Amino acid sequence: MVLAAFVVLGGTSPAMGTELRVLAPNAVKEAVSAAARDHERATGDRVTLAWSGTEAITRRISEGETVDVVVNAAQNIDRLAAEGRLVGATRTDFARSGIGIAVPGGVPAPDVATPEALRAALLAARSVAVSSGTSGRHMVEVFNRLGIADRMATKTRQPPSGAQIAALVADGDADLGFQQASELLHARGVRFLGPLPRELQHYTVYSGAVHVLSREGRSAPAFLDRLRNPATRAIVEESGMEPP
């Protein structure tokens, strides 16, 4: 079993109740963290959080890692439920995110407002970074649709699941970066250009579900409910996402 390094949000006061372990992707860190704080205040439970990429989370749970709540892209939640790892009936959709575009801070912003402009910007870039998750797979399709897949192959970087594309862009390792908008919007050292052109956009729905081996039959479903409450919804929107 792969052991996760969890971050405890609250203290370790003896007054606190059960411990709830949540594994979630970086793309929804702000919203999930807000839900966790709300859950701790309301219940006295202690929420511990671990972060990774969507594909890494899927692999870890599929290989046997056990937590109480798994947050992931909806299609990965369904896959893990089909494998018998998650309780499919508990799937709770709470956010929808489009793919965003970023360049290093301080450089002129290229025009990326239309498919034609984006194509020109991609061809002019010395290097491009895309994620290894759902947004990265879609960008490979975008390159194909724009007729430049062969030319992009030699200058596209695709780091392991969980890597922050904004960090590569900020460090100058990529002229253009593509990832979920929520991971680029407030990142340091980059300029967020906005979403992909509407004609090329792809949305990922993020969901939570209870692990089949979780013993937190009260706390885990209650946490899922908090992912959809008004306070968390506000954080979802502030993060560049929208309710599903």
Residue numbers of the domain that contains 27: 7-96+205-238
Task: Please tell me whether residues 112 and 90 are part of one structural domain.
Answer: no
Domain-embedded: residue 215: yes
Q: Dihedral angle at the C-alpha atoms of 227, 232, 233, 238, nearest 10 degrees?
A: -130
Number of independent structural domains in the chain: 2
Domain-embedded: residue 185: yes
CA–CA separation, 177 and 139 (whole Å): 11
Task: Please tell me whether residues 87 and 182 are part of one structural domain.
Answer: no
**pLDDT value for 133:** 85
Taken in order 156, 162, 164, 168, the sign of the CA dihedral is negative
- What pLDDT, in 10s, does the model give residues 45-58? 999 999 999 999 99
Domain-embedded: residue 243: no
Q: Give me the percent of the chain exceeding a pLDDT of 90.
A: 89
CA angle (14, 17, 22) in 5-degree steps? 120
- Write down the pTM of the prediction: 0.84
What residue type is 7 in one-letter code? Answer: V
Domain-embedded: residue 1: no
CATH number of the domain encompassing residue 46: 3.40.190.10
**pLDDT value for 13:** 38
Task: Please tell me whether residues 155 and 181 are part of one structural domain.
Answer: yes
What residue type is 181 in one-letter code? Answer: A
Which residues partner with 69 through β-bridges? 22, 210
Task: Please tell me whether residues 11 and 71 are part of one structural domain.
Answer: yes
**pLDDT value for 193:** 97
- What pLDDT, in 10s, does the model give residues 86-112? 999 999 999 999 999 999 999 999 999
**pLDDT value for 12:** 37
Task: Please tell me whether residues 170 and 80 are part of one structural domain.
Answer: no
Which among 162, 100, 172 has a CA at the least distance from the CA of 131?
162
**Which residues, given as ranges, of the chain have pLDDT below 70?**
1-16
Token pair recorded at residue 15: 């007054």
Task: Please tell me whether residues 176 and 56 are part of one structural domain.
Answer: no
Task: Please tell me whether residues 112 and 229 are part of one structural domain.
Answer: no
CA–CA separation, 84 and 188 (whole Å): 39
